Amino acid sequence: MSKRQEILDKVTVIDHPVVARDLSILRDNTTGTAEFRAALGRIATILAYFALKDLPLRETIIETPITKTEGCEIDTEIIIVPILRAGLSLVDAIINFILDAKVGHLGMYRDEETHEPVDYYSNLPDGVKDGLVLVVDPMLATGGSADDAIGFMKNQGANNIRFISLIAAPEGLERISEKYPDVSIITAAVDEKLNSDAFIVPGLGDAGDRYFGTT
């Protein structure tokens, strides 16, 4: 088995007809802002469901209208860390499941010439050391932004990190998996490659611009 295949085998790639249909809507050049947001929101919900599926639970005792019984609560704090801007598009879907999740923000954009991330903002809540940190960004292209964001969170003491993306290039997956083997990756699609401008092919263009209507 090739090294790339070994890496891909460790990535959670969502296989679901609704996701496949919605990815087609997102990829389609003629899709407008409203439809793009709606399709991305549906996929984000499914990504969140898979990203949260093995959360630790603690037992509680609850009283139903009939009797006492065992219940449970989620036994970890959840910190969502969107990479601005486009990462914001994945936040609400997670909050819909975890209403008290904290949200930290990391601002970075990719320089159009060098393709390297440029940091411009950070604001993190307490609790990243002990909680589950979900770094979210719809695009994993070269992996430079994710690498920077995950490295930053590790420097802040985070030791339980997952990375959630919508669409990933094999190059970015390889970079993150090799550098951070402890970080699990959940994505809705693994595309073919990067082009010479480091855009994902076939991809969907620039997720941030399409989601925020800035094209």
CB of 45 to ligand PRP, least distance (A): 19
How far is residue 179 from each of residues 59, 146, 205, 206, 208, measured CA to CA in Å? Answer: 36, 11, 26, 25, 26
How far is residue 187 from each of residues 62, 90, 103, 141, 164, measured CA to CA in Å? Answer: 36, 12, 20, 12, 6
198 binds ligand PRP (CB under 6 A): yes
Residue 148's beta-bridge partner residues? none
Q: Which residue is nearest to ligand PRP (CB)?
A: 208
Q: Which is nearer to ligand PRP, 131 or 144 (CB)?
A: 144
What is the distance between the alpha carbons of residues 206 and 159, in angstroms, rounded to a whole number? 30
122 binds ligand PRP (CB under 6 A): no
Q: Which stretch binds ligand PRP (CB under 6 A): 33-41, 46-54, 94-102, 203-211?
A: 203-211
**Tokens for 186?**
């959940």
How far is residue 73 from each of residues 12, 57, 78, 127, measured CA to CA in Å? Answer: 25, 6, 13, 18
Site string for ligand PRP, 162-181 (x = CB under 6 A): ----------x---------
135 binds ligand PRP (CB under 6 A): no
191 binds ligand PRP (CB under 6 A): no
CB of 16 to ligand PRP, least distance (A): 23
109 binds ligand PRP (CB under 6 A): yes
Catalytic (active-site) positions: 110, 114, 206, 209
The alpha carbon of residue 174 and the mean position of all alpha carbons in its chain are separated, in whole angstroms, by 16
**Residues counted in the chain:** 215
Tell me which residue has tokens 């430079």. 144
83 binds ligand PRP (CB under 6 A): yes
141 binds ligand PRP (CB under 6 A): yes
Q: Which is nearer to ligand PRP, 48 or 166 (CB)?
A: 166
Q: Segment 145-164, which members bind ligand PRP (CB under 6 A)?
A: 145-146
189 binds ligand PRP (CB under 6 A): no
**Tokens for 140?**
């994993």
CB 105 within 8 A of CB 85: no
Q: Which residues bind ligand PRP (CB under 6 A)?
A: 83, 85-86, 109-110, 115, 117, 137, 139-146, 172, 198, 206-209
